[in-house]
Amino acid sequence: MYNYRDMSLWQVSMELYVDIHRCTQTFPKFEQYELAAHIRKTALSIPSNIAEGSGRKTTKEYLRFLDIANGSLSEFETQLEAANRLGYIQDIMPYISKIAQIRSMLSGLCRSLAAKINTVQ
């Protein structure tokens, strides 16, 4: 349906994943299979759902996967806050900034796709 690799939304989401993956490697060893693993999995879920949705046959299905990506973004933000409060990540603002950027792009794309569906009906 769409080439996700060309989308700024997917690219920024992948940057966020790579950044947090590197960051979580510094977490204490006992957290590597707990919080660090959850954070990485959730962060990867964001661009993964954007990509998966773009390959779906209908715009409605695409919107569903974008909604899942948005939910993963909120889950990631919560996990990031937990890591900050535990002292594993000192400065979360660069991540929060990317989260806001991704959320804005997701929202815009969802509005655009929803309008497209409403126009067709």
Residue 63 belongs to domain with CATH number: 1.20.1440.60
| Token pair 């990506």 in the structure block, residue | 69
- The residue type of 10 is W
User: Which residue reads 């990631």 in tokens?
Assistant: 76
Closest CA to 46 of 26, 31, 30, 68: 68
* Number of folded domains that form the chain: 1
pLDDT digits (tens, 9 = 90+) for 82-114: 999 999 999 999 999 999 999 999 999 999 999
Flag whether pLDDT at 55 surpasses 80.
yes
* Model confidence at 80: pLDDT above 60: yes
Residue 58 has pLDDT above 70, yes or no: yes
Amino acid at 108: G
Q: CB neighbours (10 Å) of residue 4?
A: 19
Q: Side chain identity at 64, as an amino acid letter?
A: R
Of residues 69, 38, 39, the one with CA closest to residue 52: 69
Task: Identify the domain containing residue 18 by its residue range.
Answer: 4-120
Q: What is the reported pTM?
A: 0.93
pLDDT at residue number 117? 83
Segment 2-30, tens digit of pLDDT: 689 999 999 999 999 999 999 999 999 99
Residues 16 and 72: beta-carbon distance below 8 Å:
no
Category of 87 on φ-ψ map: left (φ > 0), alpha (ψ -120 to 50) or beta: left
Q: What six digits make up the tokens of 64?
A: 């569903």
